[in-house]
């Protein structure tokens, strides 16, 4: 079978077999020297206990690839395979192997051409002659055990080769191997998991301590700089930079688009990029020659290698967390890379919160600007209307002094009513602008809300009587709140007048004031025309008028309830409304009582 090996640098080998390409993933990416030494000692111990000359251990890395980390008994295999990685493919083991007490024996004569090509690309065939025994071991035979933890997660593969007996295994020999070496299987799993989780815990703890030093509420760009500073000081690397997707990195101007596209792909795949001087490795992609732009970047910062982890939210790529290692530092191992992705996820949450906060600030600023513009327009309109109305009043007074005829008097009365409506609207506009201004200086004092309610009752009693509406008020004595007296008086008056206006003759308006759990509770219920469910969410919107003909028949500016709601909100209170068309409406206003004045003795209104 023709084959060719193409060495492309930094230990990466591409093997072409019958049109198929086999490329090794990045090697030397698991654990440290101490961990490898322990696993090598275990491999030697397993060889001694199992009566095999060669034992190899291949671990599952956190990036999903396999890597040979220990080979005992065969120097040539160790030189060729140690530290080499391969894709995690178990099909040939599970399909061709015969199960023996947790082991899989794959006889060489069962291998098909595809499997042989795979093993030639990623494995090692010992240079030994076949055994001449009837059940003799063949150089292509494999004895493999899949080592999984208690949750069934695969952690390593254990290989036995060249049995000292020269014979193929049986169920009895597999059982004997388990009895002699079983305790070492758990030791291998323990070491692999300790390497995986220990590095994750270390790096994540370092990063989260760094996060605690970053001031909350920073704008996005400032947060990016602060995170870079904090992570660099906390983590065991030469540099850490959080680079926003829109940033221009010094030394990377020419390759900016290329790198941005690469990181966008990595975010979509939830991958990463390892940059070494000769080769650049990315998740789920083959190795490429390191682009000159990235090589220049390494030179600029005097780095030997870098790890680039994308940061994003949903489909949006936001930034890259770039970690750099100086010359002489160890290579990036899979557990470090996995831990870095966890740190990047935490950074991503912080950046997303900052982005959302920035958008919220921008939206609030836009809303404030809109409200200020609207308020300025309202004030300007009110001032512009006040002068013409004053002129109309002056001329009406002059004309009424000349003893007009009956027909003329009717016209003058109509003009008088119209002018009063315009004047009421001007007053309402000015009041709305005042209570909507967050920068307006407000002097708060103790306000006797009980007296305010009774004054409004007295003022509107005659209006209610003329309209055939029964107005009943009951206010507890001495209910005092802190606030602006004029604004609270207008709020209460609007509540009374709104109920009386929309209650037809024969109806009833009931107003009560009491104290409940430290709050003044002002309730106004009527048996009026009611508010439809569709209109209810809009009753506090300025200038809103219901489409109900019964409501349209009653004059109004659509500002009374808007002013009421803003006054209540400005006094740290709340207002709720419930209504049923044809049955009536109830408003409930709650205001905090002044300290020491939460009394609720019933009083007549």
Give the burial class of 546: count Cβ atoms within 10 A of its Cβ; 0-12 exposed, 13-18 middle, 19 or more buried.
Answer: buried
Name the one residue in this structure whose structure tokens are 């790529």.
Answer: 317
Question: Using CA atoms, how far apart are residues 58 and 62, in angstroms rounded to an integer?
Answer: 13
DSSP structural state of residue 421? H
- C-alpha span between 293 and 530 (Å, rounded): 71
Q: How far apart are CA 59 and CA 66, in angstroms?
A: 6
pLDDT in tens, 5-18: 222 223 344 444 44
Rounded-to-integer distance, Cα 320 and Cα 347, Å: 10
Q: For residues 146 and 343, what is the distance between their CA atoms, to the nearest angstrom?
A: 31
What pLDDT is recorded for position 337?
Answer: 84
- CB-based contact 282:271 (threshold 8 Å): yes
The Cα 58–Cα 65 span in angstroms is 10
Pairing type for strands 470-475 and 508-516 reads parallel
b or e along 433-467 (b: 16 or more beta carbons within 10 Å of the residue's beta carbon)?
Answer: bbbbbeeeeeeeeebbbbebbbebbeebbeebeeb
Could you say which DSSP state residue 570 is in?
H
Q: Grade residue 447 by pLDDT with cuts at 50, 70 and 90.
A: very high
pLDDT at 308 over 70: yes
Q: Which residues contact 348 (CB under 8 A, 6 or more apart)?
A: 311, 312, 313, 318, 319
Interacting residues of 238 by C-beta distance below 8 A, sequence separation 6+: 301, 303, 324, 325, 326, 329
Across the range 537-552, mean pLDDT stands at 76
Buried b (16+ CB within 10 A) or exposed e, 81-97: bbbbbbeeeeebbeebb
Q: CA 347, 349, 350, 354 torsion: positive or negative? A: positive
Report the pLDDT value the prediction gives residue 285, as an integer from 0 to 100: 62
Nearest to 50 by CA among 157, 156, 178, 142: 178
Report whether pLDDT(359) > 90. no
Q: Kindly tell me if the per-residue pLDDT of 543 is higher than 90.
A: no
Whole-number Å distance between alpha carbons of 354 and 360: 10
CB atoms closer than 10 angstroms to residue 134: 7
Q: pTM of the predicted model, to two decimals?
A: 0.49
The predicted structure's pLDDT at residue 14: 41
Question: For 152, what's the count of Cα atoms within 13 Å in the CB-facing half-sphere?
Answer: 0
Would you identify the CATH topology of the domain 445-592?
Answer: Heat Shock Protein 90 (3.30.565)
Q: What is the mean pLDDT of residues 479-500?
A: 90
Distance of CA 51 to the CA centre of its chain: 56
Which residues, 6+ apart, have CB-to-CB distance to 98 below 8 Å? 104, 105, 106, 107
Strands 288-289 and 52-60, bridge-based pairing: unpaired
Domain 3-197 fold: Beta-Lactamase (3.30.450)
Lowest-confidence segment of 155-164, 264-273, 282-291, 468-477 by average pLDDT? 282-291
Please report which confidence band the pLDDT of residue 596 belongs to, taking 50, 70 and 90 as the band edges.
Answer: low
Residue 484 has pLDDT above 50, yes or no: yes
Query: Mean pLDDT across the stretch 83-101?
Result: 87
pLDDT at 292 over 50: yes
Indicate if the pLDDT at residue 287 is higher than 80.
Answer: no
What pLDDT sits at residue 576? 94
Q: What is the pLDDT of residues 174-211, one digit of tens each?
A: 999 999 999 999 999 999 988 888 777 888 888 888 88
The answer to which of 18-22, 451-455, 477-481 has the lowest mean pLDDT is 18-22
Instruction: Categorize the per-residue pLDDT at 71 as very low, low, confident or very high, splitting at 50, 70 and 90.
Output: very high
Reported as a single tens digit per residue, the pLDDT across 372-429 is 766 666 666 665 666 676 767 676 777 777 767 777 777 777 777 777 777 666 676 6
Class of domain 213-355: alpha beta
pLDDT at 343 over 80: yes
Residue 435 has pLDDT above 90, yes or no: no
d(CA 39, CA 494): 84
């Amino acid at each position: 079978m023709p084959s060719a090996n193409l060495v492309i640098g930094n230990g990466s080998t591409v093997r072409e077999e019958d049109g198929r390409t086999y490329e090794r993933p990045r090697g030397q990416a698991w654990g440290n020297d101490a961990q490898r030494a322990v696993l090598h000692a275990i491999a030697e111990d397993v060889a001694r206990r199992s009566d095999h000359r060669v034992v190899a251990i291949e671990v599952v890395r956190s990036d999903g690839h396999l890597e040979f980390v220990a080979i005992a008994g065969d120097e040539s295999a160790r030189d060729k395979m140690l530290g080499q990685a391969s894709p995690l493919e178990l099909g040939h083991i599970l399909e061709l192997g015969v199960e023996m007490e947790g082991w899989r024996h794959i006889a060489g004569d069962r291998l098909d051409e595809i499997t042989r090509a795979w093993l030639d690309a990623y494995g090692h065939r010992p240079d030994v002659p076949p055994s001449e025994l009837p059940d003799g071991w063949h150089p292509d035979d494999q004895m493999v055990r899949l080592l999984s933890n208690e949750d069934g997660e695969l952690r390593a593969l254990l290989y036995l080769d060249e049995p000292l007996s020269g014979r193929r295994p049986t169920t009895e020999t597999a059982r004997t191997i388990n009895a002699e070496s079983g305790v070492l299987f758990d030791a291998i799993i323990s070491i692999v998991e300790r390497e995986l989780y220990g590095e994750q815990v270390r790096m994540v703890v370092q990063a989260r301590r760094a996060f605690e030093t970053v001031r909350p509420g920073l704008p996005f760009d400032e947060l990016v700089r602060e995170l870079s500073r904090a992570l660099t000081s906390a983590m065991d690397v030469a540099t850490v930079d959080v680079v926003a997707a829109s940033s221009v990195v010094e030394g990377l101007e020419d390759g900016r688009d290329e790198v941005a596209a690469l990181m966008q792909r990595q975010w979509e795949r939830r991958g990463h990029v390892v940059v070494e001087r000769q080769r650049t490795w990315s998740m789920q992609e083959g190795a490429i020659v390191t682009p000159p732009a990235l090589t220049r970047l390494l030179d600029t910062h005097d780095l030997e290698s870098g790890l680039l982890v994308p940061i994003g939210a949903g489909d949006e790529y936001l930034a890259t967390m770039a970690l750099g290692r100086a010359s002489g530092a160890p290579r990036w191992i899979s557990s470090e890379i996995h831990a870095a992705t966890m740190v990047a996820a935490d950074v991503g949450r912080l950046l997303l919160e900052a982005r959302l906060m920035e958008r919220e600030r921008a939206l609030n600023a836009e809303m404030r600007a809109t409200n200020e513009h609207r308020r300025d327009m309202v004030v300007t309109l009110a001032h512009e209307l006040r002068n013409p109305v004053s002129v109309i009043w002056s001329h009406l007074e002059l004309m009424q002094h000349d003893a007009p005829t009956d027909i003329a008097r009717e016209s003058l009365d109509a003009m008088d009513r119209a002018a009063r409506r315009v004047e009421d609207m001007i007053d309402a506009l000015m009041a709305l602008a005042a209570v909507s201004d967050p920068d307006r200086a407000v002097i708060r004092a103790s306000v006797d809300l009980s007296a305010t309610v009774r004054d409004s009752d007295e003022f509107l009693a005659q209006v209610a009587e003329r309209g055939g509406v029964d107005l009943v008020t009951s206010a507890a004595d001495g209910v005092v709140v802190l606030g602006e007296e004029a604004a609270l008086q207008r709020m209460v008056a609007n509540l009374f007048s709104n109920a009386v206006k929309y209650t037809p003759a024969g109806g009833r308006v009931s107003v009560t004031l009491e104290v409940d759990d430290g709050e003044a509770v002002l309730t106004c219920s009527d048996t009026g025309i009611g508010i439809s469910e569709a209109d209810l969410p809009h009753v506090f919107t300025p200038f809103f008028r219901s489409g109900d003909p019964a409501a349209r028949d009653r004059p109004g500016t659509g500002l009374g309830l808007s002013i009421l709601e803003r006054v209540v909100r400005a006094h740290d209170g709340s207002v709720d409304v419930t209504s049923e068309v044809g049955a009536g409406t109830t408003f409930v206003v709650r205001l905090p009582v002044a300290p020491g004045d939460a009394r609720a003795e019933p009083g007549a209104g």
